[in-house]
Amino acid sequence: MPETPHPSGQTAQIGPPATPGPDRIATCECGALTLRVTVQPVHIHGCTCTKCQRSSGSVMSLSAWFPESGVTIDGPYTSWFFTKTPDPALVSCFCPTCGGGRFFRTGDYLRGTIGIPVGSFADPDFPPPDHIHWWPDRPRWLSAPHGPDLLEGN
Ligand SMILES: [Zn+2]
Ligand SMILES: [Zn+2]
């Protein structure tokens, strides 16, 4: 994995233990950026908050979070984060050519994991989210799915 320090200056974070999982590949739309994952996600969630609607360009974000040690990043990417805080909770990384293949490096949020939007795996058998955050902010036409808990906030 390329050495990409977190903006706080950290290069190695203490993350959750990794459990071996199936070999999964997430790619951007043009294929220049790939993320190979060989561990089970520690967390899968959706979020219908208005911030996630804007960042995903869709009705909700849906992301799986993996221990950093189980993710191999191959290809170029650029990154972006809110600069208001010296230790941002999330750094958003993505392919500089097509803008896809987004992944998240973490600060205080799920420290030591990498978050990958589930759609980048293009896998109909990918496990469902445990819960969906900020359900009251969803588009009004979106009805409740079976399975995940629907939370009013974080
Ligand atoms: Zn691309
Ligand atoms: Zn959100």
Please name the residue that has the structure tokens 């043009």: 30
Q: What confidence score (pLDDT) does residue 8 get?
A: 45
The distance from CA 153 to its chain's CA centroid, rounded to whole angstroms, is: 18
Handedness of CA 3, 114, 31, 125 (dihedral sign): positive
Give the confidence band of 16 by pLDDT, cuts at 50, 70, 90.
Answer: confident
Encoded amino acid at 61, one letter:
S
Distance 151 CA to ligand 1 centre (A): 33
CATH number of the domain that residue 112 is part of: 3.90.1590.10
Domain tally, the chain: 1
Q: Is the pLDDT of residue 101 over 80?
A: yes
Q: What confidence score (pLDDT) does residue 125 get?
A: 95
Q: Which is higher by pLDDT, 110 or 151?
A: 151
Extract the tokens encoding 131.
Answer: 């819960």
The domain containing residue 105 runs over which residues? Answer: 20-150
Q: Is the pLDDT of residue 122 over 90?
A: yes
**Dist CA 99 CA 102 (whole Å):** 7
Distance 32 CA to ligand 1 centre (A): 5
Q: Is the pLDDT of residue 12 over 60?
A: no
What mean pLDDT is reported for the chain? 90
In percent, the amount of the chain with pLDDT more than 90 equals: 75
Q: Is the pLDDT of residue 5 over 80?
A: no
Distance 48 CA to ligand 2 centre (A): 6
Distance 47 CA to ligand 2 centre (A): 4
Q: Is the pLDDT of residue 1 over 80?
A: no
Q: Is the pLDDT of residue 60 over 80?
A: yes
Instruction: Assess contact for 136 and 53: CB atoms under 8 A.
Output: no
Question: Is residue 40 domain-resident?
Answer: yes
